[in-house]
Chains A and B, each alone.
Chain A
């Protein structure tokens, strides 16, 4: 056949055929440049070299490691360590700087916010939500309502020692259980709750003596929540005139809180996180917008 096809020249193109024929269709032999073939061989050689140097073949358990010992996991860990080392420079600066200085310095602020965001996601989000909006019983850090103050220093102190935590420096303030501990009778709880509701712009129940409620308020509540229901920050007593109530703003919620209050706990972070992270968190939380 070789001889046959050697003589067979396609009449139209003037090109020799390869001798391959399918139902009368013949393949023209337009030879590929030889260097192209060599490049194909070179690619094969390249592949073999690659197998030897790098991790390639999957085995039943594990894979071939390659003589270079190159491994993306190791490289990623190295890059991570490098990042941590790079961060420590900033961390030292954060520790040295005052909170006000951090908020003013562009570079430090950027770092503190990024660092704070990461730490917030890991440590704070379970209670306060990933956006810092909290939930019923867990304060919203985005708004302007601060039980213990919203300045940088206030936030820093709260973060360090917590609220009603086991730390000696913790912020302590407790709402007495007026109903459960029988300090007030059931009717008295209803009266004082209705009084608060009336002042906070909520609907009240019919036939409740609001004047009696006011007297009860002055005798039992005003010491902490203020004569005008404005709250006293030093005691962690919230304003009752606010649009935002931690445990819900309805008459039933108020009654429940007067009868058997919930006193939420914020842990102290001083022993759990390093000072730079706590400062970063302070700046981050303050930056939400409610910071004072």
Chain B
């Protein structure tokens, strides 16, 4: 390596890092813009207002429809109540979410990225604020170049104020999912909320402000793994926001292309107006084809359709289409749309299967639970009357909102086996009746004593069965009864 020329332009290192090019997306209108506004209202509406929806669960239970109660270790979703040991429902949801993402991708590309991803939705909202205050693309480019004046300062200050307000509200809504919303709002207003609430609001205010105000497309291009995965999952039959180059090329200004047509030479419909590029929130030229930076929000479709209408050409030069169709049209064949194909069917089947399993688990969810732990020390106790006693630590869970009595039965032992629950005096037909309070667990020591002088094998499998004395619900757990290994 010859180092003498290396320093010539102040070294090379500057070129190894690229400053982000600022993007000034232009406003547009049309079908996809309307879809995006609608989805923005729905998703943000759900996010900001869901914690305020009430759902009556009876006395002594939170009446918030959606709540993650970290203090009492319960999660609520309308009629569903989840205990920490049932976190597998969350696993199921994550599997559903992942496969749903795959399915969306196989059907119509990055629907998630373009319309539903929080990064997209909040960036859209922030852009709207920016546009309202600083004007559209051209105005913003000019404003950026202007020297600092009072007017510029006022605009900038107003913009950041509104951004911060939205960001703050975003953080504020987040914490409402973890505590009773109306109470917490009041506590926040009177500065009596716990420190952790303020901390989380501050964190989410900062991330929202930073990610939606400044990072924007950088998040999609450099920080998010999904574009990479998506690129590996897509195929030539998946609908994607596509520039139909078979129709658009060769591109040229309206005048130039009209001239070409007069001369009987081939000319495309693309008039090279750059509208698709200017409305793009990630600064992509869709005419370069499917690319990682494109989040497929469809705004270039709107922009192009508007131009095509103005110049009197058919719309749809940029549209949801497939690579395969471009190839087919070039070969003079009809366009085909195959939504139903192996991968979409498989993804849909997986979603149906996981959904069915979750639904089944939810419908058949036990409202009682029992876990049994055999004493380790001592494993058994020989008593003066020739009996052998085993001790167990049994934990009963009552997931109902009222206290319940459970009758404990230990099966698999010889007749005349004694079963007692320490500290429990209530019995039914010689079996302990254990009361468990509403929505809680109770640990009880259970002593099982074999009949006097009965020869027990060194290990006997036993089943602990609890029966709700009123509702009849039955739950079981297995363990063993141990005895000395004597001839």
Contact = CB atoms under 8 A, between A and B. Distances in A.
Interface of A: 1-4, 16, 18-19, 29, 31-37, 103-104, 106, 109-110, 129-133, 140, 142-145, 239, 242-244, 287-290
Contact of B12 (A18, A145, A239): A18
14 contacts: A4-B5, A29-B16, A31-B16, A34-B17, A34-B19, A36-B222, A133-B378, A133-B381, A140-B381, A144-B385, A239-B384, A242-B384, A289-B422, A289-B445
Interface in B356-400: 375-378, 381-386, 389, 391
B6 A143 contact: no
B8 interface: yes
A8 to B, nearest CB: 13
A131 B378 contact: yes
Interface in B1-49: 1-3, 5-9, 12, 15-20
B210 to A, nearest CB: 11
A1 B6 CA distance: 6
A103 B423 CA distance: 7
Contacts of B133: none
B16 A2 contact: no
B20 A34 contact: yes
Interface of B: 1-3, 5-9, 12, 15-20, 215, 218, 222, 375-378, 381-386, 389, 391, 422-423, 442-443, 445, 447
A153 B145 CA distance: 90
B16 to A, nearest CB: 6
Nearest to A238: B384
Contact of A31 (B17, B382, B383): B17
A32 B18 contact: yes
Given A1-B6, A33-B222, A104-B423, A142 B15 contact: no
Given A33-B19, A35-B20, A243-B384, 10 more contacts: A1-B5, A1-B6, A31-B15, A31-B18, A34-B19, A106-B442, A133-B377, A239-B384, A287-B422, A288-B391
Contacts of B442: 106
A145 B382 CA distance: 10
A32 B422 contact: no
A14 to B, nearest CB: 11
Contacts of B377: 129-131, 133
By Cβ-Cβ distance, the 5 closest A-B pairs, closest first, are: A131-B377, A31-B18, A242-B384, A142-B381, A133-B378
Contacts of B445: 287, 289
Given A33-B218, A133-B378, A2 B6 contact: yes
A4 B3 CA distance: 12
B391 A289 contact: yes
A74 B425 CA distance: 46
B423 A144 contact: no
Contacts of A36: 17, 222
Give the interface SS of chain B, mostly helix, strand, loop or mixed: loop
Contacts of A144: 383-385
A109 B16 contact: no
Given A31-B18, A32-B18, A19 B8 contact: no
Contacts of A104: 423
A29 B6 CA distance: 16
Nearest to B18: A31
A201 to B, nearest CB: 10
Nearest to A103: B423
B300 to A, nearest CB: 23
Contacts of B17: 31-34, 36-37
A143 B18 contact: no
A103 B444 CA distance: 12
Given A145-B383, A289-B447, A19 B12 contact: yes
A2 B20 contact: no
B426 to A, nearest CB: 12
A29 B15 contact: yes
A203 to B, nearest CB: 16
Most buried by B among A104, A129, A131, A239: A131
Nearest to A20: B1
B447 to A, nearest CB: 5
Given A18-B16, A32-B16, A287-B445, A143 B218 contact: no
Most buried by A among B20, B383, B384, B389: B384
Nearest to A16: B15
A19 B477 CA distance: 69
Contact of A34 (B6, B7, B18): B18
B389 A289 contact: yes
Nearest to A201: B386
A143 B382 CA distance: 7
Nearest to B442: A106
A290 B5 contact: no
Contact of A1 (B1, B222, B376): B1
A109 B424 CA distance: 12
Contact of B383 (A106, A133, A143): A143
A243 B382 contact: yes
A104 B16 CA distance: 74
A114 to B, nearest CB: 11
Contacts of A244: 382-384
A140 B378 CA distance: 10
Contacts of B384: 143-145, 239, 242-244
Nearest to A113: B445
B285 to A, nearest CB: 14
Nearest to B384: A242
A260 to B, nearest CB: 25
Contacts of A130: 377
A23 to B, nearest CB: 14
Contacts of A37: 17
A37 B1 CA distance: 26
Contact of A3 (B1, B8, B18, B20): B8
A29 B16 CA distance: 7
B8 to A, nearest CB: 5
A37 B3 CA distance: 24
A4 B2 CA distance: 11
Contacts of B443: 110
Nearest to B380: A142
Contact of A243 (B6, B20, B386): B386
B461 to A, nearest CB: 21
B391 A1 contact: no
A172 to B, nearest CB: 24
Nearest to B449: A289
Nearest to A30: B18
Most buried by A among B20, B391, B422, B447: B422
A2 B12 contact: yes
